[in-house]
Structure 1
Amino acid sequence: MKRALNFNAGPAALPEAVLAKAEKEMMNYQGSGMGVMELSHRSKEFEEINQLTKNLLRNLLTIPDEYEILFLQGGASLQFSMIPMNLLEEGSTASYVLTGTWSEKALKEAQKVGNAVIAASSKNANYRSIPNPSEIDVSAESSYLHITTNNTIFGTQWHTLPEDLAIPLVADMSSDILSRPLNLSSYGLIYAGAQKNLGPSGVTVVIIHKDLLKRSRSGLPSMLNYQVHADSQSLYNTPPTLSIYLLMLVLQWAEELGGVKQLELLSKQKSALLYDAIDRSEGFYTGHAEKGSRSRMNVTFTLENDSVASSFLHEAEEYGFIGLAGHRSVGGCRASIYNAVPLENVEKLADFMNRFRSRN
């Protein structure tokens, strides 16, 4: 079967080895006579899946014991509300750095809960860069500082994090988690929708320092309370069992590949191929992001005009490339090169870009 050259921004490509293993176990998981989606979430088989998935994630990201791992639902978008509901202390403020659409949405939801303010923003420059950490204006009295580490629409990524904060750092890592090593001690909470680097849509990973769990107010609805989910090992209600199982398979694949350091090396190789094609094009392709803020996950670029861009996308689709149209906020093209996108597929795209330029 011919596979698409998948560069979708999300839901995104999954490793072929993961899909093959899931297909093999679809009808009969571990001799149970049932598929994972048919198992009771209270069964021994699923409890083992749940625990193994947490262990794999803890090992791959070197997550210290003082952090709790939660598997939740509602995507990163629900976290935009859950974070201030649980962490924004009465009489305090929450600080947000705006670097794109998703951080704007996070701020908007937080303002529905309490006092949330902008600590820094690159909106005036159409989000072409990440603010310098020295530009961030955050009060020591804030409950937390929120950032979005990678911006899928604009193709920017944090490469230097705010340091020596007196308050917890909260990060939306939906589109670059597991693509580079993390120093978890720099964060109070990180969260990620799975559908880019971790697995399929349906499960959201939250990694939270246990001290922050104490902020969760008892008056919150149970499904929106981090402490409730932590106390029940993410099994308070029926979890997205199939998504967690596929997350487990992706983490096993990552471990077998060589872990996060190998994934980081591959992400550097893949992004370098595309940025090289852009930079050597003598202006035929123009990258949206400033060089110091370029994302290794989402490469955004424009062409001379809409007509040329349309021709590029049409020809690319004929060659089997999927998902290269840019977001309307930027236009042009976007190649999302998450962990599961093979290096050889990116090599093919870079070659196509060079050949298209030479013909046009």
Structure 2
Amino acid sequence: MLDELETVRKTALEEVAAAGDAAVLDKVEVRYLGRSGEITQMLKSIGKLPAEERPAFGKRANEVKSEVAEAVEARGRELMRASLESDLDSFYDTTLPGTNRRPLGNIHPLMQVRETIEDLFTSMGFIIAEGPEIETDYYNFEALNIPDDHPAKDIMDTFWLTDGNLLRTHTSPVQVRAMEKYGVPIRCIAPGRVFRYEALDASHEHTFDQCEGLMVEEGISVAHLIYFMKELLRGVFERDVKIRLRPGYFPFVEPGFELDMHCMLCEGKGCPVCKQSGWVEMLPCGLVHPNVLKYCKVDPSVYSGFAFGLGLTRLVMQKYGIEDIRLMCAGDLRFLQQF
């Protein structure tokens, strides 16, 4: 019986070594070590042997079973390693760029300029504040010194909602919300989308972007305003820009100014964007009206500040030479792919 066991052992090890793939190796394993396998059946037949032969045969049979099982496991590892090496010969790195890639998207010119402005002002100690696009009458008008009976409210062409709220007509409400939230002293800008009930043309849109700016500290004057406005335009256009201040009326600042910049599309010669004047109205600005500070529970006898409302969309048009504001929201890929 031991001779028969040794013959089975030798044959099993030869077949394991000769197995050329995992499927063949599995069949060999089942043939010798499965429930009906030859070695398994020999172990089951121990009870038929004479009592004196059983210990020696049982010991040797278990040794053969372990030896064949280890051989199967070792051969399995060899076959797996060989398969991996074969795969590596034809390996394709899926992280490599394709040969027929779709073109990458472009950052909208408006976002490019907005990010430039945000980087510029944060480097000067300003925070970036946000506010809702659907506003209340209080924040959009009243808290900015524009009460219900004020004539300036008639100037605002506003999208009113059925619940009495409105689409904000400027980013100025954010300055009130920022002072309520953070208190003073404060330096902040608030870029965002605004809405006006406008007749559309090359220089007017019903949806456009502004950037509100606010600085409230002790001793702020018009000189501070002019300095920061020049820094703003220098940072965006990467060169000095000719500007002018004109007296302007805005209920939330006193004194108020209109800041114009020399038209960079026509170099002051006159074009549809500057309405043939050579100048482009960029932003209303001025010193924060004492009433606005009072609405925010700030003492105007101690603190003063300046505020401005930059027309981001018009600034982008000047920077990139865009002659029609309607292109900014048109979603025309032919336009956007130029940036």
What TM-score does the superposition give when structure 2 sets the normalisation length? 0.26
Q: Which has the higher contact order (CA 8 A, sep 6+)?
A: 1
